[in-house]
Amino acid sequence: MNLRNASHAILPVIAVLCVLTGLLPGPDLAALWERIWPILLFVTAMTVVTDLLFSAGVFERIIAGSARLAGGRTLVLWLVTVLLAVACTVFFSLDTTAVLLTPLVVLLARRAGLPPLPFAVTIVWLANTASLLLPVSNLTNLLVQQRLQLSPSAFAELVYGPAVVGVVVPCAVLLLIFRRHLVGRFSPAPSRAADDRVLLRCGYVVLALLLPALVSGIPVALSATLAAVVLTVLFAVRRRDALTFRLIPVNPLLLALSLFVLVTAAHAQGLDAFLAPAAGTGEGLTDLLQLAAAGAAGANAVNNLPAYLALEPAAGSPLRLAALLIGVNLGPLVTPWGSLATLLWAERLRSLGLHIRWVPFGLIGLLVTSLMLPAAVAALWLSGA
């Protein structure tokens, strides 16, 4: 049993025990559920939307169009991959980028006769580090948006400086590492014809309407749910066999819910006082960097979601919450369990016959993080000073 499967089996049991034994008191559990049910609904609906858009061929056609746009130039193809990874992460979340774009870019590189590793690493790094700009980009962002009651535009205004750093620094390092693989030209492979043109066109329409809705200020759970319902009806008419219970992300939902319960129970038992020295106080540059570093260390140690939940009470202001997001969103580049997106990415690569050497991956990730976090925190501090 691998690490992710073990966590799926064990953590829900421990969470239930916390509730049954009273480690998580009933009022705290009720308050937790009131806070997280819209977030869990959004995650479910967006998973259905992205999987059905994938089945309709929308993402495959976008990737194929990107290859044509590159005009046979490898560097341009990589730059287009960067744009796709950033856009997908910002609007659909880091997990969507890891699950959907990874196989597409790997297959695209192979068909073009290019080494797939530079494109694959680009996807996983940007899935994590580009997940700072909008509330929908990361589950941790949704928690901050809910706590601060910010509109999507106000949230973006708070974190836009660090969000830019989270894209520029990893891309600069990627260019340096893979510079020899990103020169020259390639021959684009012909794209596959759509299985159902009606579903494809309807998928484009749903996507075109959903993206602005996600940043409009309309509750994101409502926008995503409406899109999921529309696509489900379309598939029920055109391709019913695609509608299976596997569209519901049961394991990620159980994992997220279990982590919410466990960390809330830990807070009820005094976790705040234990973590206070590591989180620090204040909004000076050093204070914000300390909090971001604690978030990054926690994310690489146990995963970014429990790291955020554990440190959230110590981040009592918008600026400190943003610093914590820098740590838990931009930081988990060192260990494979730092974020669920990295684990999903690694599984996709294994299914494609690619295996990652985790020690070099972690060392380079540590280098990127050590450069990126101070720059991102400085950008946040300057914008909030």
pLDDT one digit per residue (tens) for the chain, 385 residues = 455 555 567 888 898 999 999 888 889 899 889 888 888 898 889 889 988 998 898 888 888 887 788 888 899 999 999 999 999 999 988 988 998 889 889 988 888 888 999 999 999 999 999 999 999 999 999 999 989 999 999 999 999 999 999 999 999 999 999 999 998 888 766 666 677 889 999 999 999 999 899 888 888 889 999 999 999 999 999 999 989 888 888 888 888 888 889 888 988 888 877 777 888 888 999 999 999 999 999 999 888 988 898 899 989 899 999 999 999 999 999 999 888 899 889 888 988 888 889 999 999 999 999 999 999 999 999 987 5
Tally of CB atoms within 10 A around 212:
11
Give the span between the Cα atoms of 261 and 15, in whole angstroms. Answer: 6
Measured distance CA(381)–CA(232) in Å, rounded: 45
Distance CA 92, CA 105 (A): 17
Q: What is the DSSP string of 175-242?
A: HHHTGGGS-SB--PPPPPPPS-HHHHHHHHHHHHHHHHHHTSSS-HHHHHHHHHHHHHHHHHHH-GGG
Query: What is the per-residue pLDDT for 6?
Result: 52
CA angle 113, 114, 119 (to 5 degrees): 145
**How many CB atoms lie under 10 A from the CB of residue 43?**
22
Cα 228–51–198 angle (5° rounding)?
A: 75
Looking at residue 12, what is its pLDDT? 87
- CB contact at 8 A, 159 and 377: no
Q: What per-residue string of b and e applies to 114-127 under the rule 16 or more CB within 10 Å gives b?
A: bebbbbbbbbbbbb
- Give pLDDT, residue 127: 95
Task: Provide the β-strand partners of residue 185.
Answer: 73
Q: Which CA distances in Å does 34 have to 38, 263, 310?
A: 8, 16, 19
**How far is Cα of residue 354 from the mean position of the Cα atoms in its chain?**
21
Place of tokens 């409502």: 222
Residue pair 334/362 in contact by the 8 Å Cβ criterion: yes
- Three-state SS string over 271-302 comes to HHHHHHHHHCCCCCHHHHHHHHHHHHHHHHHH
From CA 116, how far away is CA 270, in angstroms rounded? Answer: 47
What are phi and psi for residue 365, nearest 5 degrees?
-60, -40
Compute the chain's Rg from CA coordinates. 21
Q: Which two tokens stand for residue 211?
A: 């993206």
The Cα angle at residue 294 between residues 120 and 128, in degrees rounded to 5: 20
pLDDT at 280: 81
- Single-letter residue type at 180: R
